[in-house]
């Protein structure tokens, strides 16, 4: 495609949490002018669980983008959604950031994700007094925001704390109100969690790069990796394994698909179901 496809066009970004400066620079390489559509994205669920998330990150990002587009009356929209938690078998917190682009002029939706294990998170419980410096350090405080939650009913919750004095005041207030336990945890919203921000920017970069590639069949922007083919032969027994044989590239609108170059190198027997059951 010619990079001029989006030159001078405007796209809304559904955000309350300071994501414009993370997403807009990549989109400006396409000539796209991104402006914030300040809808209440917290209605789609929050990390603190006071509003439950029900949909997948893709569906949530899409719903946010659509809301932002409706509010701003645009045909182009962006949104992002983070998914933070333990993945797989290792006790390491993964931050998976999804950035989505909706183009109602061309009629397609495209999302890219970036993954990081460098997110700073911590959660701990107090039964008296004030937090230890070691815990605050581990939480990246005060650079990273904290949430304080009392076990007193109705649950008393204070978010976005970045100041030692305020933190101590909020916790002391919990004790004064009769709390028996106070939970202190990372505020994972993007504007309170700087270690999420490079990952959101990386997902936006991947999305912008992909929008530069058009489908060879229908010329829609967003041609890129959609799948992989497994089945490289085992080096030991020559049976097909779970190892990747090739990438599959596809269109974000039509059914066009292309299989990339085959990797015919024999696969490590550790990926073979017969040799490593
Ligand atoms: Zn084998
Ligand atoms: Zn196509």
Q: What CATH number corresponds to the domain at position 98?
A: 3.90.950.10
- Whole-number Å distance, alpha carbon 34 to ligand 2 midpoint, is 25
Q: Which domain holds residue 233?
A: 226-271
Count structural domains, the chain. 3
Which numbered ligand comes closest to the C-alpha of 110?
2
Please state the rounded mean pLDDT for residues 100-107: 97
Comparing 15-19, 135-139, 218-222, which segment has the lowest mean pLDDT? Answer: 15-19
Question: Does the structure show a pLDDT above 60 at 162?
Answer: yes
Q: Are residues 242 and 129 in the same domain?
A: no
Residue 260 lies in a domain: yes
Q: Are residues 160 and 239 in the same domain?
A: no
Residue 189: DSSP 8-state: S
Alpha carbon separation from 183 to 84, 129, 245, 259 (Å, rounded): 19, 12, 48, 51
Task: Convert the pLDDT of each residue in 48-98 to its tens digit.
Answer: 656 666 678 999 999 999 999 999 999 999 999 999 987 777 778 899 999
Please state the rounded mean pLDDT for residues 14-31: 92
- Structure token pair of residue 248: 């599959």
Q: Do residues 240 and 209 lie in contact, with contact meaning Cβ atoms separated by under 8 Å?
A: no
Average pLDDT, the chain: 91
Q: Are residues 74 and 207 in the same domain?
A: yes
Taking alpha carbons only, the member of 105, 83, 133 closest to residue 253 is 105
Residue 269 burial by Cβ neighbours in a 10 Å radius (0-12, 13-18, 19+): middle
Please state the rounded mean pLDDT for residues 8-26: 92
ipTM of the complex: 0.88
Q: Are residues 127 and 77 in the same domain?
A: no
Q: Which residues line ion ligand 2, judged by CB < 5 Å?
A: 215, 217-218, 220, 251, 254, 256
Token pair 């959609």 is at which residue?
A: 226
Residue 63 lies in a domain: yes
Which numbered ligand comes closest to the C-alpha of 254?
2
Q: Are residues 130 and 115 in the same domain?
A: no
**Helix residue ranges, H only, the chain:** 20-28, 57-72, 133-138, 164-176, 197-211
Token pair 């970069």 is at which residue?
A: 205
Q: Are residues 30 and 150 in the same domain?
A: no
- Whole-number Å distance, alpha carbon 90 to ligand 1 midpoint, is 26
Question: Does the structure show a pLDDT above 60 at 42?
Answer: yes
Question: Does the structure show a pLDDT above 60 at 1?
Answer: no
CATH number, domain with residue 175: 3.30.1490
- Does residue 44 or residue 246 have the better pLDDT? 246
Taking alpha carbons only, the member of 121, 31, 33, 115 closest to residue 78 is 33
pLDDT-derived band of residue 3, with 50, 70 and 90 as boundaries? low
- Whole-number Å distance, alpha carbon 32 to ligand 2 midpoint, is 21
Question: Does the structure show a pLDDT above 70 at 240?
Answer: yes
Distance CA 99, CA 80 (A): 4
CA 269-90-141 angle, 5° bins: 145
Residue 237: DSSP 8-state: T
Q: Do residues 40 and 16 lie in contact, with contact meaning Cβ atoms separated by under 8 Å?
A: yes
Which numbered ligand comes closest to the C-alpha of 277?
1
Taking alpha carbons only, the member of 1, 228, 247 closest to residue 103 is 1
Q: Are residues 20 and 56 in the same domain?
A: yes
């Amino acid at each position: 495609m010619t990079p001029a496809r989006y030159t001078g066009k405007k796209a809304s970004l559904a955000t309350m949490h300071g994501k414009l400066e993370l997403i807009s620079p990549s989109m400006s390489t396409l000539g796209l002018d991104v402006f914030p559509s300040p809808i209440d994205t917290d209605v789609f669920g929050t990390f603190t669980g006071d509003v439950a998330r029900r949909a997948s990150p893709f569906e949530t990002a899409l719903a946010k983008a659509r809301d932002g587009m409706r509010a701003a009356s645009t045909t182009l929209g962006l949104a992002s959604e983070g998914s933070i938690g333990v993945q797989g078998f290792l006790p390491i917190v993964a931050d998976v950031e999804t950035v989505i682009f909706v183009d109602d002029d061309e009629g397609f939706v495209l999302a890219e994700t970036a993954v990081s294990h460098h997110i700073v998170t911590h959660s701990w419980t107090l039964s008296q007094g004030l937090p230890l410096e070691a815990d605050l350090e581990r939480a990246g405080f005060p650079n990273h925001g904290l949430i304080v939650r009392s076990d007193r009913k109705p649950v008393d919750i204070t978010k976005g704390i970045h100041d030692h004095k305020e933190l101590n005041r909020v916790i002391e207030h919990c004790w004064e109100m009769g709390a028996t336990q106070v939970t202190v945890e990372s505020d994972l919203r993007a504007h309170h969690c700087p270690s999420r921000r490079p990952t959101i920017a990386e997902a936006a970069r991947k999305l912008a790069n992909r929008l530069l590639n058009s489908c060879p069949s229908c010329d829609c922007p967003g041609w890129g990796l959609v799948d992989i083919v497994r089945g490289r032969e085992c080096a030991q027994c020559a049976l097909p394994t779970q190892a990747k044989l090739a990438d599959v590239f596809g269109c974000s609108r039509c059914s066009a698909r292309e299989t990339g170059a085959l990797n015919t190198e024999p696969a490590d027997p550790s990926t073979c179901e017969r040799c490593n059951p």
